[in-house]
Amino acid sequence: MVKHLLLLLGMADGAKVADIKKHYARLLDRLSKRDSLPQSVHDDLQPARQRLSESYEHWKKIGAVDGDSVYDALNTTPKLGQVLVASDILSLGEVIAVLKLQEEAPGQRFGELLVQTGFITVEELDYFLQLQRIIELPLDHPERWGQRLVELGLISQDQLKVALIEHRREGNTLRSAIINRGWLTSEVLDRIF
């Protein structure tokens, strides 16, 4: 949806948030001063105005900061547990068990607990922490079908992130990543979408 905003504003993908806000304000000002245009032109512009407004509202919701570029504001890194599940090192159940241990030991890092419990070695922890930093996932957006599966309660947010990591890493579709993990069947997905 933010790409729509950039397209409507005539801006490049690397634009800074502050510049987007300025261009948006200028465009709205210009659109509001078009009183001399025929009503049919105003009517034709209405869908563009609506899309522009929706895109800008989404942009504000994702919490973009003025120093951010569009790319920085639209991507996030996954959690370490999500990377480990996507790499078939841990199951979601094992991640949950370590998170419960972490609740009982405040101040202890998740990765340290993984090493202490024997799930991974120090070297593996270093490797997966580096991998975590280079994996970029798009921020959640309500128009994406994966997010709709989460909203329907069919998969968890963590399962979606794991499937996205697998999708990026192996090049398969998000649908096949979800099916291959056994979280949903193709029949269920076909009935929904």
Dist. CA 193–CA 174, nearest whole Å: 13
Higher pLDDT, 138 or 184: 184
In this structure, the number of other CB atoms found within 10 A of the CB of residue 86 comes to: 24
H or E stretch including 76?
Answer: strand 75-76
pLDDT in tens, 120-130: 999 999 999 99
The alpha carbon of residue 176 and the mean position of all alpha carbons in its chain are separated, in whole angstroms, by 19
pLDDT in tens, 30-42: 666 655 666 666 6
